[in-house]
Amino acid sequence: MTHHVTAMLDSYPKDLGGVDKQKLAACIQSCFECAQTCTACADACLGEDMVADLVKCIRTNLDCADICATTGSILSRRTGYDANITRSVLDACRATCKACADECGQHAGMHEHCRVCAEACRKCEKACQDLLSALG
């Protein structure tokens, strides 16, 4: 997927606003990957025998999936770029990924899908932070 993200950024007809293209591509990819992973984790939680114990995890997964998908979409749109919106969305995504990773981490010992999800959330959290730092 990185290839397609990078290819689209490379083909962009205008300046990307001075943003680090590698960090931008990595963040877009991490956001969409995290959204898919969180959606799948929520679904896997629903399939567990003790689903009532995973209600908070499911809710956090779904919130994180929505925020990550939205962030990936906003980062993919460079026309009319607004740094304030980008910073706000990245900060929300970073915070949501941290919360989801923390929640899934509590279940990682019992549920492999939660371990995988926590890992994807940490990766996305870092990618958001890296891009935020690059934006200044």
* Cα gap 64→94, rounded to integer Å: 10
- Token pair for residue 88? 């706000």
Confidence at residue 16, expressed as pLDDT on a 0 to 100 scale: 64
pTM above 0.85, yes or no: yes
Which CATH number fits the domain that encloses residue 76?
Answer: 1.20.1270.360
Confidence (pLDDT) at 107: 96
Which pLDDT belongs to residue 115? 98
Q: What is the dihedral of CA 50, 34, 69, 128, to 10 degrees?
A: 130
What pLDDT does 7 receive? 83
pLDDT below 70 — which residues of the chain? 1-2, 13-17
Strand, coil or helix: 103? helix
Which of left, alpha, beta for 18 (phi over 0: left; psi -120 to 50: alpha)? left
pLDDT of residue 79: 73
Residue 2: predicted pLDDT: 58
In a domain? residue 8: no
Residue 114 lies in a domain: yes
Assigned domain for 110 exists:
yes
> What's the number of domains the chain is made of?
1
The predicted pLDDT at position 100 comes to: 98
